[in-house]
Structure 1
Amino acid sequence: MNLWQRPLKKLLLIAQQTTHRFRFNSLNSFVSLVLVGAVLSVALAACTGGSNGNNASTQNPTASPVAANKPNVELTLVSFAVTKAAHEAIIPKFVEKWKQEHNQTVTFKQSYGGSGSQTRAVIDGLEADIVHLALALDTQKIEKAGLIQPGWEQENPNNGIVSKSVAAIITRSGNPKGIKTWADLAKDNVKVITADPKTSGVARWNFLALWNSVIKTGGDEAKATEFVTQVYRNVPILAKDAREATDVFGKGQGDALINYENEVILAQQKGSKVDYVIPDVNISIDNPIAVVDKNVDKHGNREVAEGFVKFLYTPEAQEEFVKLGFRPVDEKIAQTKEVTDKFPKVNTLGTVQDLGGWANIDQKFFADGGVFDQIQAKNKR
């Protein structure tokens, strides 16, 4: 339900109750009903902002002056660390397009960090207009905090998923430890670098990729727990987020790094020689986008925020994601030769839905006392 519909519903109920008390047996009663209708009409007009639908205040009658009346509009984008390069390529294209079509100058404040940390920052008061996070669970937490209206997944294609990737294993030059599969990470002589699932979205995906590799090949949960425990026993340090994990590995720690495929591709584009493997059994890493309703209504910039989100789904923006290593959510682009040549095929791809959805995953694996904490306790971390 839109925010303006709530007070309108109350007014309609009052009007309905009023009509039940009147009988058309006097002039006074008739005049009273006319007055009720007039008041209701004025209220409706105030709530909807007219019938043309062009006024951004239709979303919230208490919002500050709408962006349509401003020559300059500012948006605050809060995202997880590894999207920075993609957004820096896409934002200028959107700014130019919006200026041409609306004669407005849009500027962006941008914040990047671990998805879990970014989520907490928004809940604690960072006034994001748009959040692009590593996993839907983090967006759901902002929703539960009352900042995003329920149903945000249906506002955009693919249940709000705007970028995708898979997990990659990065090795030292020449792959001296001969690492080819997830199972190799459990060997006693292999040290693995990954981020902390308590603070990093990519780390949760890494954990699920390891777990999924056992379940998808016929193992049960006992086998999965045993395997993942051994891998984390080989982790000398848990980084704060994906970028920090990459830095730690780059400074010489570890034999293998688990990270997003797009991070590997970006590093190669920057001139780094990177040896890596995309395991044939993998997890679909799905990253959602959402408008933060409470903040855009406060800032009066909903129209522009929604315009930017929609732009991220256009071929123009999706091609930028592809250039920087993200797998496209647009199926037509996914079938192009450029994409099929760029990304190795994954034959067995698990999903969050296969594991029961994020609510179940969070409670089972990452909540206090969950599987991850139990594994860390076994490894005496």
Structure 2
Amino acid sequence: MSLWPRQLKRSQLSIKRIITPFRLNSLKGFVSMFLVGTFLSVTLAACGGGNSGNSASENPAASPVAANKQNVELTLVSFAVTKAAHEAIIPKFVEKWKQEHNQTVSFKQSYGGSGSQTRAVIDGLEADIVHLALAGDTEKIQKAGLIEPGWEKEAPNNAIVSKSVAALVTRPDNPKGIKTWADLAKDDVKLITADPKTSGVARWNFLALWNSVIKTGGDEAKALDYVTKVYNNVPILARDAREATDAFFKQGQGDVLINYENEIILASQKGEKVTSIIPDVNISIDNPIAVVDKNVDKHGNREVAEAFVKYLYTPEAQQEFAKLGFRPVDETVANTKEIADKFPTVKTLGTVQDFGGWGEIDKKFFADGGIFDKIQAAKK
């Protein structure tokens, strides 16, 4: 939804509140109604000056501050493992925008655990754009009144801009013989993963574990027993995916690491010798993007923020995501031989929808007193 329909909707609500107390059987009421009508006419004229595809110069209401500035600043808040991708993509967007609009865009960037980033935005970090690990975190920002409902329809692919699957990383030559999810429950295996309370990646890891039982014919009781055994083998819960990766590679902790496939690819690119398995039964890890409506309207940079989100779906940007290990959401890019050869095929892929969506998932697994808390309380 572009800015002017939102402004019109808000103006209509304001007018309704103004009209309600007045009665037409008095001169005062008549004058009041006349003034309200005049206000409505001005509002409609301002909002209707162009369609939603117009540039800021054609439709000043689309970006009332940014359109008149030579320099524009955007604040991007994202989860930890996207940092390398955004650092490659942002300069390309900045150059493109400069060429097309003769305007310089600069970015403030913040990266961390998705849960922690979500709380920071709700608590006052004035993000213009949020790229988070899971839609459930974006929904929390919406519920806080910062993002308008329907955000997932404002971008292609239900606003999913990057995706991955879960990977198991072992020590060189795989001395513990890790082959499947089931091996993570063995008594002599130490697993490194992040904390679902602070990391969106870790919530995906948890779902991947649970999904591995359900998708192979197990029931809820078997899933609970298995996941409890696995978390008994976790010596320390990292704050986010990047910290988990560092604990495994740099600090030498654990026998196996569960993490995003893209993190494993990135570690390999940095020279780490990585032995990994992409299990045939897996979970589709979908990462959404959203404009933070309240903040972009305050900052007057909606047009630029929406343009950046749109740019992330271009083949050029999707190729950068793919280079750094994310499975592209653009089918044209995904179907190229180079990309197809890079990512192993997953035979059985679970989705968030299989679990009823993030609202149900959070309530069942991650809310205070939920299944994850019970598993932690029962640890040996």
Cα distance per residue 1:32-65 (max 9 Å; x no partner): 987765443223334x173465446535xxx8x4
Cα distance per residue 1:175-233 (max 9 Å; x no partner): 01110110000011100000000000110000000000000000000000000000000
Superposed CA RMSD in Å reads 2.4
- Structure-2 residue corresponding to 1:275: 275
Q: Contact conserved, 1:117 with 1:199, CA < 8 A, in 2?
A: yes
Cα distance per residue 1:287-306 (max 9 Å; x no partner): 00000011111111000000
One-letter amino acid of the counterpart of residue 359, structure 2: A
Cα distance per residue 1:265-298 (max 9 Å; x no partner): 0111111110000000000000000000111111
Q: Secondary structure at the match of 2:172?
A: coil
Q: How many Å separate the matches in 2 of 1:317 and 1:266?
A: 17
Cα distance per residue 1:133-169 (max 9 Å; x no partner): 0000000000011110110000001111000000000
| Alignment of structure 1 residues 21-170 onto 2, 5 Å | 37-46=37-46, 48=47, 50-51=49-50, 53-55=54-56, 58=61, 65-170=64-169
> TM-score, length-normalised on structure 2?
0.92
Q: Secondary structure at the match of 1:153?
A: helix
Q: How many Å separate the matches in 2 of 1:361 and 1:87?
A: 28
Deviation at 1:331, TM superposition (A): 1.6
> TM-score, length-normalised on structure 1?
0.91
- Structure-2 residue corresponding to 1:327: 327
Unpaired runs of 5+ residues, structure 2, are none
Q: Secondary structure at the match of 1:88?
A: helix
Q: Contact conserved, 2:15 with 2:36, CA < 8 A, in 1?
A: no
| Alignment of structure 1 residues 271-310 onto 2, 5 Å | 271-310=271-310
Q: Contact conserved, 2:60 with 2:67, CA < 8 A, in 1?
A: no
Q: Secondary structure at the match of 2:289?
A: strand
Deviation at 1:2, TM superposition (A): 1.1
Deviation at 1:334, TM superposition (A): 1.5
Q: How many Å separate the matches in 1 of 2:370 and 2:273?
A: 38
Q: Contact conserved, 1:49 with 1:58, CA < 8 A, in 2?
A: no
Q: Does 1:221 align with 2:220?
A: yes
Q: Secondary structure at the match of 1:162?
A: strand
Q: Contact conserved, 1:115 with 1:133, CA < 8 A, in 2?
A: yes
Q: How many Å separate the matches in 1 of 2:37 and 2:112?
A: 53
Q: How many Å separate the matches in 1 of 2:295 and 2:347?
A: 42
One-letter amino acid of the counterpart of residue 142, structure 2: E
- Structure-2 residue corresponding to 1:249: 248
Q: Contact conserved, 1:280 with 1:348, CA < 8 A, in 2?
A: yes
One-letter amino acid of the counterpart of residue 105, structure 2: V
Cα distance per residue 1:314-362 (max 9 Å; x no partner): 0000010000000011122212111210000000000000011000000
Q: How many Å separate the matches in 2 of 1:140 and 1:31?
A: 44
Q: Does 1:362 align with 2:362?
A: yes
- Structure-2 residue corresponding to 1:234: 233
Q: Contact conserved, 1:4 with 1:58, CA < 8 A, in 2?
A: no
Q: How many Å separate the matches in 2 of 1:44 and 1:249?
A: 59
Identity of aligned residues (%): 77
Q: How many Å separate the matches in 1 of 2:157 and 2:262?
A: 20
Deviation at 1:10, TM superposition (A): 4.1
Q: Secondary structure at the match of 2:235?
A: coil
Q: 1:337 to 1:182 in 2, by over 3 A?
A: same
Q: How many Å separate the matches in 1 of 2:33 and 2:373?
A: 65
Q: How many Å separate the matches in 2 of 1:132 and 1:33?
A: 45
Unpaired runs of 5+ residues, structure 1, are 23-28
| Alignment of structure 1 residues 181-200 onto 2, 5 Å | 181-200=180-199
Q: Contact conserved, 1:12 with 1:40, CA < 8 A, in 2?
A: no
Q: How many Å separate the matches in 1 of 2:16 and 2:119?
A: 39
Q: 1:375 to 1:17 in 2, by over 3 A?
A: closer
Q: 1:88 to 1:39 in 2, by over 3 A?
A: closer
Q: How many Å separate the matches in 1 of 2:314 and 2:340?
A: 19
- Structure-1 residue corresponding to 2:6: 2
Q: Contact conserved, 1:49 with 1:57, CA < 8 A, in 2?
A: no
Larger Rg: 1
Structure 1 outlier segments of 4+, above 2 Å = 8-22, 29-40, 42-46, 49-59
One-letter amino acid of the counterpart of residue 316, structure 1: E
